[in-house]
Structure formats: structure tokens, C-alpha cells
Amino acid sequence: MYQTTGNAQLRALHTSVDAPAVDIYINGLPAITNLAFGQISNYASVAAGNQRIQLFPAGLGAAGGAVIDTYVDLLGDQSYTLAAIGQLGNIKSALLLDTTPAPSSD
């Protein structure tokens, strides 16, 4: 059963080749800083539920204007990757549910 309370794990993946490095804010607070093209962040623990995710040019915060501003629904005890995809002029986000296979019994 999926948890609607507790915490989810969220990491970010920067795949927009022409977008600047970004700082990622969750509900208005900085969570991941200076994520550049081709990088994936470590997981951050985030409260389950509907969360606002904003990506700003690194170091500029809200003054830089968000390149992505979206809301995502996260379930507790789940892991997610938020990917920034596409060219800067048409950048979008994709929320992916990460799955980890059970270890083999070998």
C-alpha cells in the first residue's frame, strides 16, 4: 500500500544541454544547488503530498526567474527522479518513479 504520509526520496537529473546550472527549491526552500547539465543529485528526503518544485538559474534564486515551476504528488516510502528535459526555450519536467529490484537470493 502506498503511503500518503511520511517522506519520499527525490533527486534531480539535469538533461537540458543549453540550460544553465540550476538550484532546486522545494516549497520555496533551497534543496539542491548548482546542478549542471548531465548531473544527477543525491536523494533528498521530502514530505509526501503535493509539493512545489522550482528550478532557478544557479545562484540567482527567485530573482533569476524559474526555468521550471511545477507541482508534483509524492507518495511516502517511494523514490523519484525529477528530470529537466528539452531545450531551454521549451524546458519541461518529468517525474519518474524509481524502482529498486529486490536483491537476488544467490
Name all domains of the chain by residue range, CATH numbers in brackets: 7-98 (2.60.40)
In angstroms, what CA-CA distances link 61 with 13, 18, 31, 65, 77? Answer: 19, 19, 12, 7, 29
Tens digits of residue pLDDT in 63-104: 889 999 999 999 999 999 999 999 999 999 999 999 976 566
| Residue 63: predicted pLDDT | 85
Residues 6+ apart with CB under 8 A from 59: 23, 34
Mean pLDDT, range 52-60, rounded to an integer:
95
Within 13 Å and on the Cβ side, how many CA atoms surround 87? Answer: 2
pLDDT of 3 above 90: no
Q: What angle do CA 57, 43, 99 make, to 5 degrees?
A: 120
pLDDT of 49 above 80: yes
Tens digits of residue pLDDT in 11-33: 999 999 999 999 999 999 999 99
